[in-house]
Chains A and B, each alone.
Chain A
Amino acid sequence: MRGTLIYIGQRLVLIAITTVLVSSIVFVLLHQIPGNAFLNETRQSPQTLAAELHHYGLDLPLQQQYLNWVQGVLRGDLGESLVNRGVKITPLLIRETTVSATVGFFALLVTVGLGLILGVIAALRQNTWVDYAASSTAVVGYSIPSFVIAIFGLLIFGHYLYIWTQGTFFYQPGWGKIEQIPVPALALGLPYASYVARLTRASMLETIRTDYVRTAWAKGLKARVVVMRHALRNALIPVVTILGPLVTGIITGSVVIENIFGIPGLGKEFITSILARDYNIVIGVFTFYAALVGLANLAVDVIYPVLDPRIRY
């Protein structure tokens, strides 16, 4: 237990370092993109532009700007939006992160839930039509990128469903209602669910042939107990291993999905802020993403020893 806490502490320090590195790299690169937040189609006098830049400290040398930013971060203040005057970034990003996390959580639910169920069923019915159906669905699901699934999702649930039900029941892009969660969560989670299904199937096939599962049968345990307690529990271990990269994939995938479905989350902000050259927000979004990926992976690693007693930190 003590070891685990020390381990978590070490990892948190590493995540902090990673986040700092990511933000500084982004900071440097971001300023290499031509243009800035105050250039627009309307003619501006050079004086106004200079005044704007000066107001936000953008006329200072880059190192100085970075140091100023870091000072702000240490106070928990990521600065102000350059485009929308007076909008504080920290609360904005926290709000957007909860939106993204909600979609991500349900996507993960789809991924793990659907993946495990399909994988286990395919393994238990190996080489029957059930297995072939589940396995080929998985291959198809894995081969189609989530933005394609998203567009078909829009078409089917937003358009056709509207026509079939004559406008009484359909999906409306956007955010704020519970019924707006399933379609994006499915689009985001399905490709990964296929991946989990294939891995679970392979892993289950391996464990149901192990000696200890044979022992479980020989003890006279009920089939359900043998499968769930003895086979699945062990088969889950490799599945949990890929959960880290998977969560990362879901987080990055949300950039595309949120833009397609118009969800006001971190992913949508990611694109809009870059296009608007809203420096402070871009860096903030990247910082949040870096921390999120780090924390998600940490969470997975903490689950590991719960599942496999041979692993101790």
Chain B
Amino acid sequence: MPGGTLNAVDGISFDVDRGEIVGIVGESGSGKTMTALSLLRLIPEPGKITSGKILYGEQDVVQMSDEEIREFRGNEVAMIFQDPMTSLNPVLRVGFQVEEAMAAHNRFTRQQARDRVIPMLQRVRIPAAKDRVRDYPHQFSGGMRQRAMIAMGVSNEPSLLIADEPTTALDVTVQASIIELLRDISRELRAAVILITHNMALVASLCNRVIVMYAGRIVEEGPTRAIFKNPQHPYTWSLLRSMPRVDETTRERLISIKGLPPDLGKMPPGCKFHPRCKFRVDRCLTEEPPLAEVDPGQDARCWVLMKNVQNPEAIAQT
């Protein structure tokens, strides 16, 4: 679309408090990663933040100068990326890449940074850390690389850690240990965590609060327990329903949500989910619902709400 504008993320608003773990879930392309990247102003060219505020305490990230945002990144807010295979620089030693993260800010001197590398690697439970500091990333396994990324992220004791699908690229066995590490370390640091994932089970086990995104919007938001027990948006409801369950062995097929998320260039009018929604009413086709409180602490962007639907399972199967 030459000359045009596409809004990958639109009208997102949420808060994260110290010590809180917030999950952002949604399908690929729903804007989760863009939301996370925008918190550090790392949106890839030619994208940009056209309006809005990102407040960190009193400071607005959007208004920061280049030097302020540099000092902010990795120091106040750190980010852990999706693919540890490609997120570490292949030609620099792992230890050096951790050291560099600390030396970049005023918190530590070069020497302090150097001395902290091995303790940091030990803290993220890299075995034989003393010998491994001088290794290159290709000598590390995927799980160890992600540990190194976490070491890098927490080395400056940030107060917010953004983890963008930190386990997607890893073996299932490794996933659990990485998540455990992430939880323990954020507790030790009393840091807030934003966990971006499409893994609902992960959210259930780790997060205090959940934000569900669809087509660049928040469609539902609330305490994990409430969302899992009483999802109000049909999208959340369908996502939860499509989770494979261990206790139901008889079902032959996995349940999916039919259709695809809308193309950014061809957004449907009204509610963005209505083309895929089994519970839509006429109003959904023309008018986009606001994000409104449905229960204390729980908001949903829907005209219908699942609590008003009788026997949703029967309708969904049609």
Residues of A within 8 A of B66 (CB): 223
Residues of B within 8 A of A216 (CB): 89
Please give me the residue from chain B that is nearest to A212 by CB atom. Answer: B89
Contacting residue for B89 out of A217, A218, A230, CB 8 A? A230
Instruction: Check if A219 sits within 8 Å of B86, measured CB to CB.
Output: no
A3 at the interface (CB under 8 A from B): no
B92 at the interface (CB under 8 A from A): yes
Contacting residue for B83 out of A211, A218, A233, CB 8 A? A211
Contacting residue for B87 out of A211, A220, A307, CB 8 A? A211
Instruction: Check if A234 sits within 8 Å of B91, measured CB to CB.
Output: yes
Instruction: Check if B136 sits within 8 Å of A210, measured CB to CB.
Output: no
Interface size band for B: 20 to 34
Contacting residue for B79 out of A209, A218, A221, A309, CB 8 A? A218
- On whether A219 and B42 interact (CB within 8 A), knowing A212-B87, A230-B89, the answer reads no
Contacting residue for B88 out of A215, A307, A308, CB 8 A? A215
Give A210 to B92 CA distance when docked, in angstroms: 15
A123 to chain B, nearest CB (A): 12
Give A307 to B87 CA distance when docked, in angstroms: 19
Give A308 to B81 CA distance when docked, in angstroms: 23
Instruction: Check if B92 sits within 8 Å of A229, measured CB to CB.
Output: yes
Instruction: Check if A308 sits within 8 Å of B73, measured CB to CB.
Output: no
Which residues 88-135 in B have Cβ within 8 Å of A in the complex? 88-92, 100-101, 104-105
Instruction: Check if A218 sits within 8 Å of B91, measured CB to CB.
Output: no
Instruction: Check if B72 sits within 8 Å of A220, measured CB to CB.
Output: yes
Give A220 to B156 CA distance when docked, in angstroms: 11
B40 at the interface (CB under 8 A from A): yes
A136 to chain B, nearest CB (A): 22
- Chain A residue total in the interface (Cβ 8 A): 25
Instruction: Check if A221 sits within 8 Å of B100, measured CB to CB.
Output: yes
Which residues 36-60 in B have Cβ within 8 Å of A in the complex? 40, 42, 44
A214 at the interface (CB under 8 A from B): yes
Give A29 to B83 CA distance when docked, in angstroms: 59
A222 at the interface (CB under 8 A from B): yes
B75 at the interface (CB under 8 A from A): yes
Residues of B within 8 A of A75 (CB): none
* Contact mask for chain A residues 217-240; partner B; CB cutoff 8 A; 1 contact, 0 none: 111111101000110011001000
Instruction: Check if B71 sits within 8 Å of A220, measured CB to CB.
Output: yes
**Most chain A CB within a 10 A radius of its CB, from B70, B89, B152:** B89
Instruction: Check if A212 sits within 8 Å of B44, measured CB to CB.
Output: no
Cβ contacts A to B, 16 pairs, < 8 Å: A212-B90, A215-B81, A215-B89, A217-B73, A218-B40, A218-B74, A218-B81, A219-B152, A220-B75, A220-B105, A221-B70, A221-B74, A223-B66, A229-B92, A309-B136, A310-B91
Instruction: List residues of chain A with CB under 8 Å of any chain B CB.
Output: 209-223, 225, 229-230, 233-234, 237, 307-310
